Structure 1
Amino acid sequence: MTTIYQTTINQLGPDVSAFLSEKMFILFGQNAPAELADYCLLIDVNSVEGDIEAGDKLLFNDNAYRVTAVGSVVKQNLGALGHITLKFDGASEAELPGTLHLEEADIDVPEIGSTVQIVKN
């Protein structure tokens, strides 16, 4: 496996669980606007080392999820701002440019200190 991206969750916005029923999380670097920060998993902003493609894996909350679709600005936004939406819906086409779609799954709010990785097999 080759790691394309890795970061750590440093803070959980108090309203992160508001999106659990929609099977999604919002990632954002520490510079998240105040009106969004309450809904975000706040992470370290790190560079993305390669293209993110369908078939790659997201390792998150001690589970692996297959990437099913990648929005056109996911790599750019993740590397520059740490800001993308993770949507666990199995969509084969990106709904929005900043959304990373993953295989459909039930999700739980991660703990502070959890690692998020994107890897190629």
Structure 2
Amino acid sequence: MKKYEVVVNEIGEAMAQLLIQDMLVLFDENAPTDLSSFSVNHSKGNLTEQVAVGDMLYLGDRSYKVTAVGHRVNHILNQMGHATIKFDGADVTRLPGYIHVKGKDPVHISLGEKIVIAS
């Protein structure tokens, strides 16, 4: 079941620097101006159910298993479309807005790709 689905509509020019660090920062269309250069901005989404360990994150055709979810993720994802995806497979979050996932690191993100979180 899909819990969250959005479409990438802008990619910050410095976003690749975070991908090298195995991180991806997401914001919806209301991203703070000072953070938009480091983030992937996407369409407004509707979180229908809380993100939980064991869910799947899809970036286009690539899939990742959710291994840990920060205690603020569901609130800020619903309010601002914001989360930081950390591709390290950790089972404990370092920061309250992190979603940790396991899977092959993304090498690119493209305009028009869907970002989906599903159970």
C-alpha deviations, 1:88-113, integer Å up to 9, x for none?
00000111110100015321221100
TM-score with structure 1 setting the length = 0.94
In 2, the alpha carbon distance for the partners of 1:93 and 1:76 equals: 18
Letter in 1 for 2:73: V
Consecutive aligned runs of 4 or more in structure 1 exceeding 2 Å deviation:
none
Q: Deviations over 1:2-30 (max 9, x none)?
A: 00110000000111101122111100112
- Structure 1: gaps (5+ residues): none
Contact between 1:13 and 1:38, CA under 8 Å: does it hold in 2? yes
Q: Give, in whole Å, the separation in 1 of the partners of 2:32 and 2:49.
A: 27
Q: Which runs of 5+ in 2 are unaligned?
A: none
Q: Provide the residue aligned with 2:110 in structure 1.
A: 111
Q: 1:28-107 maps to which residues of 2 (within 5 A)?
A: 28-107=27-106
Matched-pair identity in %: 32
Q: Could you tell me how far apart the structure 1 residues matched to 2:71 and 2:27 are?
A: 17
CA distance in 2, matches of 1:52, 1:106: 20
C-alpha root-mean-square deviation of aligned residues, in Å?
A: 1.0
